[in-house]
Amino acid sequence: MTVTAPLGHTSCGRTGRPGARPVRGRFGAWRALAALPAIFGGTAVMFVLTAAWAPLLFVLWLGCAGLWSTPLGERLAVRTALGFRPLPAGRRELIEGVCAAALARCGLPVGSVDFYVKAGRQPNACATGRRSVAVTDGAVESFLAGRLPADLFGAVLVHELGHHATRAGRFALAALWLAGPGRVAFRAVLAVTLLLCGRRRLGRPTWLVIAVGGGVAIVQAAQQQQWLTVAGVSAIAFALAVTPVLDGAVSRASEHAADRYTASVGAGPDLARALVLISGSVADRRGLARRALDRHPSLPSRLDRLGRLNAGSAVPVGVLPT
């Protein structure tokens, strides 16, 4: 769909239920704060590598981050960096009604959000920026084939609109851009380490080499009083160790907040059914480390909370609703 009004200027904070309280959140700001070590590390890398050109490049770099926050910049960013693409003309008409119904339930006018499709065989959806929602090819195919009913598909879209209502992706594109140099530096170090270790995948020996190498680099830079290098390497090391855990915790909290938003506009039961239908199983077999890093809460946890929000309309764990 083509959009004309930025989401930040619409009534996404209002719910479709009369008298319901607006939903607010600072999850986008928290996620941006979690990315600060990577951003700072990338800044240090930029200043070290570009020397005299660093101030000019830094200003241009920050300017581009602001550009991605504009409607035009966001459309460009999600298509080029995230692989979002418009719905094909033949499918747009079929899915347009579900999108319009989801917007109406949230009190949003048609044209206030950009809907896209992205690669992915598993039915899924995501929201980013201020106005972008994408569904996977698998979700579209399941909907068109009748495996994902319209009301359940609509509830998934409402959940993604809930992320916008709670501002979960408000600074996501800017943070992704600003942290880019730090991520590139880490991937370069990782590639060299894997090459030296003769490995193709990460393992404990590889992480040990990275940790030792990073420690040696920090000590040597400190001895030579290269404090910018010390700050950059330390920030990247901190980002590797702590940022994924912080980002995972904030992301899980934002998922629960979007679920609460969905329940507040009356789509909670449909979302619970959609979650079970898409997952196929409610068992949580993740280990402790995986749960700490995962950006989504466990399905039993989400169903339990949705059940309480839905005033007793909980979906029985292990039972596929009909």
Give yes or no for residue 155 having a pLDDT over 70: yes
CA distance 256 to 282: 17
* pLDDT score, position 284: 60
| Residue 53, amino acid | W
* pLDDT score, position 63: 86
Question: pLDDT tens across 166-220, in order?
Answer: 988 888 898 888 888 877 777 777 677 667 666 666 555 656 666 666 677 777 7
Give the residue with greater pLDDT, 322 vs 262. 262
| Residue 69, amino acid | S
Question: pLDDT tens across 290-313, in order?
Answer: 666 677 888 888 988 998 887 644
Question: pLDDT tens across 9-18, in order?
Answer: 333 333 334 3
CA distance 27 to 169: 8
* pLDDT score, position 3: 37
If you average pLDDT over every residue of the chain, what do you get?
78
| Residue 58, amino acid | F
CA distance 1 to 133: 11
How deeply is 271 buried, as exposed, middle or buried, from its count of CB atoms within 10 A (0-12, 13-18, 19+)? Answer: buried
Question: pLDDT tens across 245-271, in order?
Answer: 888 888 898 999 999 999 999 999 999
* pLDDT score, position 160: 96
**Mean pLDDT along residues 88-117:** 88
Give yes or no for residue 138 having a pLDDT over 70: yes
CB 295 within 8 A of CB 248: yes
Indicate whether this model's pTM tops 0.85: no
* pLDDT score, position 27: 81
User: Domain locations in the chain?
Assistant: 1-322
* pLDDT score, position 113: 93
| Residue 105, amino acid | R
| Residue 225, amino acid | Q
- What does the DSSP 8-state code read for residue 200? S
Structure tokens at 173: 């594109």
* pLDDT score, position 196: 66
Q: Residue 224: which residues within 8 A CB-CB, separation 6 or more?
A: none
Question: pLDDT tens across 23-36, in order?
Answer: 566 788 888 877 77
In this structure, of 42-51, 99-108, 280-289, the range with the lowest mean pLDDT score is: 280-289
Give yes or no for residue 108 having a pLDDT over 80: yes
Give yes or no for residue 234 having a pLDDT over 80: no
* pLDDT score, position 202: 59
Residue of 195, 197, 118, 196 lying closest to 160 (CA atoms): 118
* pLDDT score, position 16: 39
CA distance 186 to 293: 18
